[in-house]
Structure 1
Amino acid sequence: MTDLLARQHMASRLADLMKGDANALAMLQLMCQGKANDAAKNAEIWTGPFSSLRDDILGFDRPSESANRAIGIWEEDANSGDFVRSRKHIDLWRFCADVERISKKSDRKRIVFLGESVARGFFFSPLYGPAMVLERQLTESGEPVEVIDLAQSNCGSWWLTEMARAACVLQPDAFVAFAGNNWRAKPLGGTSVEAFSDGVLLSEDGGVATLMARQRARACDIATETIRELARIASEVGVPLIFVVPEINLADWNSCPAGTLDVPLMSNDHAVRWIAAYTDAKRMLEAGHLTNAERYAREAIVLDGGASSCSLELLARIRLEQSNSRDASSTLRQSRDVNDDTRVLPGIFEVVADTIRRVGNEENVKIVDLPRIFERHYRNEMPGRTQFLDYCHLTAEGIQIAMAATAQAIKEAMLHETAELDDLIALAPAPMSEQEGWAHLLAGVHNAHWGQEPEICRYHFRRAVTCHPALGDRSVPLIFDAFRHAAPSVWISGFGELVEHQIASTYLMGFGLISRGLINEFPMLEAMQAEFPELQDRQLDPDFALGLVREIDLLHPHWTHLMDANRWFRRSFKAAYETESVFTFVCTETENLELKIECRIPGALEIGNVIIDVNGTEVGSVEVKGGWCAETLAVSKSILTRGLNRMTIRWPNVNRQDMRKRVREDFEAGQRADTRTHFGQLHDLTLAIASI
């Protein structure tokens, strides 16, 4: 849609809105908006962790007499000409290499290494990572080199090119960029002509799928611009550019964790049919009727337009049961490309990877295609826990193979030599046992926080003490205690000892805690207790267990999962994005409880029964429609256990109003759009010890 045509559509909408709709002012703002200039276009770049570097990097090409040149957190020392880590950016040190000084170039070949958290060696940083592995592989294979590690966690595409431009002063002999996981289009919404055009899709059948495809196309545009700019920078200084295309974890990562759904807004008929098809597909899979399971899963995908990762992941599970791993891999890649504003995890889109390959070849960039390299090396095995610690961050083995392939490419492009991949892998240094143990221990925490299956969390906890048994004596109990309290972990007495180790400090202080707030830690604590029996006598919830307190509010952040999309919206209710909502709580004693629930099914056109059970036993139901309904139910102590208990709320599949028009209007007014189906909504959910 052209700007002129979009403004004509907005003029018509404005005429209607001026009759009394509160969104009229936002529409007027849209019509008055001019084309954003380049400075405004890049404004959101500086809202991330490197915003404090804005003046440094933007002034690099235009230094004043008093200003020192800078490369990220490193500023030029006027006396020595070295680049020294600046204390004014000390809050950003944890995102970067633990390097105090970048000296002037010696007689060794110099490689500038750029990238994101994968290139940083997330979970191993700052003690082990791709840059140091690459330097050893190249040096041990006969060519002494110096790898300048400029990789930065949370690095975006624009910042990547600015770092490359600034690093030209280091006189590199080659650039290596290992990136693409953070290349996303800017969030939807805001008052813009583009947002208005997007908003039209929200009220159309298949519109959310089209909107997601549009966002991926925007990400491809970003990839094209980034590769071309990096190639231009390398060409200007006459050195090769080697670009490493990332891979993602397909086998051991769920985009849509167990029990959650990411169903796009649909018409009433499509929504009712989708729920039935998805439910039947799961039931048939569990019964082993794979042909019928696949048929129902495909029906759900047709209805959601491929805009739901849960239906795609279900189809992939069916295909794995059919021993069809190739099609399962393709379906899982499609599920990882499902994107909305609440899905913030890194991971390269398949279309972005294809764009990097195509544009890289056009610009004479040497491409290290990690998906293809892993495919060949592991003989078509689906990438999983062998290569990855989470969604995209590499194990030590994954790092060693990725950097061996990168060393191959550098030798060809810079030295005009060849080397065998296996020979370079053999030259890679391994992390110390303690470093690898910490990486797996923190990966277990990370996987649990992002809603992954207990089995994979336990696997990483088990690997941690296998790599370094001493972690089980002190560090494992410290992690458990740090996360089981209502207070933030940084306030717990043992936390100071925990972060004395550099790897633990970098993760826990930099990524695991500070900006996250309180969340539900029970899945992680359960996995730890299951793997380490010595922790089973420790109270899971020493601050909010029923018996220690008389009442708990299950809508409080203490019981909210990190993956819960409700965390992105300010509203007076909790949306249920799943057909069954599960809440866990702890009892110190088995006493009769009183449950207060206030809920509704948004836009419901008929009455439905919301069923509540505790530990598998039904305790009552609530008849609900579109308005709020409140009920008080008794929970007998006979069905409760000391320790962890589970309450499940089952939402009925009823006919409902089409909510897309309302969401579109909110979106056009500049509000964040919730494009997912609410199967129910909760305003109150409290448990209390019964008074009688």
Structure 2
Amino acid sequence: MPGKFDPLKPVVRRLARRLNSEDAGIALAQFQLLKLLAQGAANPPPPSAPPAVDRVGIWEKKPGPSGTEFIRSVKASADWCFWADIERIPAKSARKRIVWLGESVARGYFFDPEATPAQFLESVLQQNAHDAEVIDLAKNGLQPGELSQLLSTVAELQPDALVVFAGNNWCSGSSLSFPELMQLCECLPERPEEFIAQFSRHLQNLAERLVGQITATAEKLGIPAIIVVPEFNLADWRDDWPPAIFSGNIDTRWRTLKARAETQLAAGQLAAAQASLNALAKLDHNLAPTTAQMRGALHLARQQTEPARAAFEQGRDVALLGASNRILSPRCPRIIQDTIRRRAAASARVQIVDVPALFAAQAGVPGNRFFMDYCHLTAEGISVVVHAVAQQLSVLRPETAAASLQRVPLPIAARTEAIAHFLAAIYNSFWGQPQSLLQHHCTRAISLYPAIVESMFDFVEFRSAPRADWVYAACQRLCSVAQAKPYLDRFIQKKVPLRLVLAIRQTLPRAAQRKRFDTLLLKRAAPAASTAVNLLDDPFHFTVHHFPLLFRSNPLNLAHYVAKDPTSEFTLPLSRATPMRIALCCRLPLGHTANKEVTLKLNGRRLRSFTLNGRWQKLSIPVAARLLKKGLNTFSIHWPAAGPRVNQALLTREINRLERDRFIDLFPSHGEISQFLISAADFSAQSAKV
């Protein structure tokens, strides 16, 4: 364990370098930070009295006929969608009051507001002779600071018990202070292992503080507290990222070995797969989560449960490197799980519901049986966790033995569960999950509620069409479902990943439905003689590296497309084959001076090969009608290897972005495109000019 963290050291080191650069603004900010840190160390602020509480979450404190009530604040209406759809929290009555706090897993993501864990917990308690109410304070996206704030105000609700289901959002970079960010900056160029170690120490300190606050709150109020330790979808979630730029010139070899190992695993060639995975680990120094996750799959194929779990957990935790890129899915790493367990054990008032242990007892290495995506629970997963919490809450009624708890069926309608699985398919596709997982959710949705097929058609129709969503009746139909609207509203960009389109089509049970789906895709007709289609606007093109774009229009401030994979694929639906022409402007990433070969393919056949370097090049490429087909046509650009270790100027730029707590890009770039137009062959050269 490293020594005590001195927040001055990383600031001083970076400031010294800044003073020799032109970045005076950051240098001034660091001077100011040094002053504040030094003053804080020498003169810590005196303890102040806690401010008066006038609200809890989005509910404002108001006097009521039976005592203090909390009414949902109109001023906070923009945040209503993140919380329980409850207008009023009544005054405390004679009933036992359990306050339920947590993140999106506790909110019941995908099922909310039709069915939530808090509602189900109240039902289980009441059907087991507990006269209890559950106040639902779970919030989608709850950050550590917000949890701390809720804990400081929860006494106003006069709870008889607390349940806290949180930890998945604690590893987001938003909880880092400026000095901690700069200490991480010191590690990135050459010491990624130290990056993980420092970040893990930050997570441990954060978990210590939050569990300590939960414990202090329970002891102050004289009530029991239950902390639910989150689990991760170990068996089926994939963080399929290439090695980051500080891994050197290994990208092409790594991808080749990865593809070989995947093929060997699929074919059951386990000894050969193990050899390939060993070679992969030597290349990426066990810093690519994919390698560890594939090793877990190898152990599962050999029915080695414990080694499989260890490998999957390693993949989950080494992925913390992705936190700097904002492409890390929420998760509760081992350092947080163990800190919760250790700190809770030190207090008689705090108990835990250990979800990793619960799921391991029933399924070994947990996967899609309990999880909708990386951490959000299926109906069965919710049921297992809620019953375990209810059993712990037997302390509220000592005369009722915990062992006598009767299990209660989860009251979720088939339509609600089907919609949840379809939403999960959409969400998983944006996280770059394999098509097999998307088909699993689509198949499950259709089996539960066959009419969900119409919602699938609606989604593909308005998300792949060029105009704003709201002008389409399909959007209005789907968004009229209260369960679906909050999830669809989050996505700014109009995207339908191609693997989701293919998964939906594959799971449609009837030939007539598949034919209708094909007709829907062809609504984006072939370009007329006076128009051109920009393939960079292809709604079906999407990779996990584009995930931040779903929520912000352009977080990296890019003026062009950047290829993060060695092959970039774009689709063009055509109602008929006709001669066309491509106007392409592209280059290799900055720093590439030598010419390298790039190949453009159409539907798997070579269309043109050409050489590129780091300067923009314009190309005009004819496309014969015989090479095209009715339906989806795929244009693929095959880029050269990512090249040697990135130059220091680019690395410094990304570290500076991290220092400002902005989106950064630590993964290799293969190529860049400023324009990719395709038009009918007689489209004028002047109009198609790049």
User: What band does the TM-score fall into relative to the shorter chain?
Assistant: 0.7 to 0.9
1:313-356 superposed Cα distances (whole Å, 9 cap, x missing partner): 33334444444443333322222231323215322223222221
Please point out which of 131, 136, 139 is paired with 1:152: 139
> What does residue 391 of structure 2 align with?
408
Partner of 2:150, secondary structure, is: helix
Shift in CA distance, 77/486, structure 1 to aligned 2, threshold 3 Å: same
Match of 1:359 among 324, 339, 343: 343
Displacement of 1:145 = 1.3
Is 1:34 equivalent to 2:34 in the alignment? yes
Contact 2:130 2:397 in 1 (8 A): no
Aligned partner of residue 142 in structure 1, secondary structure: coil
Give the unaligned 5+ runs of structure 1.
Answer: 41-57, 64-68
**Structure 1 residue 62 and structure 2 residue 62: aligned?**
no
Is residue 114–residue 483 contact of structure 2 (8 Å, CA) maintained in 1?
A: yes
Contact 1:178 1:245 in 2 (8 A): yes
User: Which residue, 462, 465, 487 being the options, matches 1:511?
Assistant: 487
Looking at structure 2, the residues matched to 409 and 127 of structure 1 have their Cα atoms a distance apart, in angstroms, of 26
Mean alpha-carbon deviation: is it higher for 89-98 or for 476-485? 476-485
1:436 to partner: Cα distance? 1.8
* Contact preservation (8 Å) 1:606, 1:656: no
Distance 1:189 1:74 in 2: 28
2:686 aligns to what?
Answer: none
Q: Distance in 2 between matches of 1:553 and 1:213?
A: 44
- Residue number in structure 2 paired with 1:688: 679
Alignment of 1:99-138 (within 5 A): 99-138=86-125
Q: What residue is the counterpart of 1:48 in the other structure? A: none
Provide the TM-score with structure 2 as the length reference: 0.85
Supply the distance in 1 between the matched residues of 2:290 and 2:245 (Cα, whole angstroms).
14
Matched, 1:578 2:578: no
Cα distance in 2 between the residues matched to 1:690 and 1:188: 54
1:633 and 2:621 matched = yes
CA RMSD of aligned residues (A): 3.2
- How far does the alpha carbon of each residue in 1:141-166 deviate from its partner, in whole angstroms, 9 at most, with x for none? 23221111111111112212222332
Q: Which amino acid aligns with 2:677?
A: T
Q: 1:282 to 1:621 in 2, by over 3 A?
A: farther
Partner residue of 2:670?
Answer: 679
In the alignment, what sits opposite 2:56? 71
Aligned to 2:377: 394
The equivalent of 2:235 in structure 1 is: 251
User: Structure 2: any 5+ residue segments left out of the alignment?
Assistant: 41-47, 550-554, 684-690
- The answer to whether structure 1 residue 9 and structure 2 residue 4 are counterparts is no
Residue in 2 aligned with 1:558?
539
The reply on whether 1:300 has 2:277 as its aligned counterpart is no
Shift of 1:238: 0.5
Distance 1:273 1:477 in 2: 40
Return the offset for 1:387: 1.2
Q: 1:246–1:162: structure 2 CA closer, same or farther, 3 Å change rule?
A: same
Q: Describe how 1:219-618 pairs up with structure 2 within 5 A.
A: 219-256=203-240, 261-266=241-246, 268-271=248-251, 273-282=253-262, 284-285=264-265, 289-337=269-317, 338=319, 339-340=322-323, 341-364=325-348, 365-378=350-363, 380=364, 382-412=365-395, 415=398, 418-420=401-403, 424=406, 426-472=407-453, 474-504=454-484, 508=485, 510-532=486-508, 533=510, 534-538=513-517, 539-541=519-521, 544-547=524-527, 550-556=531-537, 558-561=539-542, 563-565=544-546, 567=549, 568-595=555-582, 596-604=584-592, 606-618=594-606
**What SS is found at the alignment partner of 2:135?**
strand
**Is 1:143 paired with 2:130?**
yes
Q: Assess, with a 3 A threshold, how the Cα gap between structure 1 residues 325 and 482 changes in structure 2: closer, same or farther.
A: farther
**Contact 2:232–2:375 at 8 Å: present in 1 too?**
yes
Deviation at 1:644, TM superposition (A): 1.2
Q: C-alpha separation between the residues in 1 aligned to 2:184 and 2:306?
A: 34
Letter in 1 for 2:199: Q
More moved, 279-288 vs 437-446: 279-288
**Pair 1:172-2:162 in alignment:** no
Deviates more, 1:314-323 or 1:458-467: 314-323
Is 1:644 matched up with 2:627?
no
- Name the CA distance, whole Å, in 1 between partners of 2:594 and 2:274: 31
Bigger shift: 388-397 or 310-319? 310-319
Aligned equivalents of 1:336, 1:342: Cα separation in 2: 15
3-state SS in 2 of match to 1:82: strand
User: Is the CA contact 2:300–2:308 (under 8 Å) kept in the aligned structure 1?
Assistant: yes
Q: Deviations over 1:582-626 (max 9, x none)?
A: 222212211233232412144346543222222111112222334
Which letter maps to 2:489?
Answer: L
Counterpart contact for 2:599–2:606, Cα < 8 Å = yes
Q: Is the 8 A contact 1:312 1:334 kept in 2?
A: yes
What SS does structure 2 have at the residue aligned with 1:677? coil
Deviation by residue 1:268-304 (Cα, 9 ceiling, x = unmatched): 4445654454355345546654334323323333433
Q: C-alpha distance in 2, partners of 1:653/1:690? A: 33
Preserved contact between residue 593 and residue 688 of structure 1 (Cα < 8 Å): yes
**1:227 Cα deviation (Å)?**
0.8
Residue 147 of structure 1 aligns to a residue whose secondary structure is strand
> 1:32-81: CA deviations, max 9, x gaps?
4236689x9xxxxxxxxxxxxxxxxx999426xxxxx2221222332432
Q: What count of residue pairs does the alignment treat as equivalent?
A: 649
The AA in structure 2 aligned to 1:156 is Q
- The whole-number CA distance in structure 2 between the counterparts of 1:437 and 1:657 is 47
The structure, 1 or 2, with the larger RCO (C-alpha pairs under 8 Å, 6+ apart) is 1
Compared CA separation, residues 110 and 7, structure 1 to 2 (3 A): closer
Structure 1 pair 335/536, CA: closer, same or farther in 2 (3 Å)?
farther
Q: Equivalents in 2 of 1:590, 1:373: separation in Å?
A: 56
In 2, the alpha carbon distance for the partners of 1:368 and 1:572 equals 48
Distance 1:476 1:573 in 2: 31
> Deviation string for 1:7-50 (max 9, x for gaps)?
55345424542xxxx33542343244236689x9xxxxxxxxxx
The superposition leaves residues 210-269 of structure 1 with CA deviations (integer Å, 9 ceiling, x where unpaired) of: 32342233222221111111111111110011000112222332222xxxx332113644
The 8 Å contact of residues 525 and 540 in structure 1, kept in 2 or not, is answered as: no
Structure 2 SS opposite 1:583: strand
Equivalent pair of 2:526/2:574 in contact (CA under 8 Å) = yes
Check 1:4–1:352 CA distance in 2 against 1; reply closer, same or farther (3 A cut). Answer: closer
Letter in 1 for 2:369: T
**Identity of counterpart residues, as a percentage?**
26
Letter in 1 for 2:13: H
Cα distance change, pair 324–690 in 1 and its aligned pair in 2 (3 A): farther
Amino acid at match of 1:238: G
Answer yes or no: is the 8 Å Cα contact 1:605–1:655 preserved in 2. Answer: no
1:98 matched to 2:85: yes
Q: Contact 1:23–1:665 at 8 Å: present in 2 too?
A: no
SS of 2:238's partner is coil
Report the CA distance shift for 1:652/1:35 in structure 2 as closer, same or farther (over 3 A).
Answer: same
Cα distance in 2, alignment partners of residues 498 and 393 from structure 1 = 22
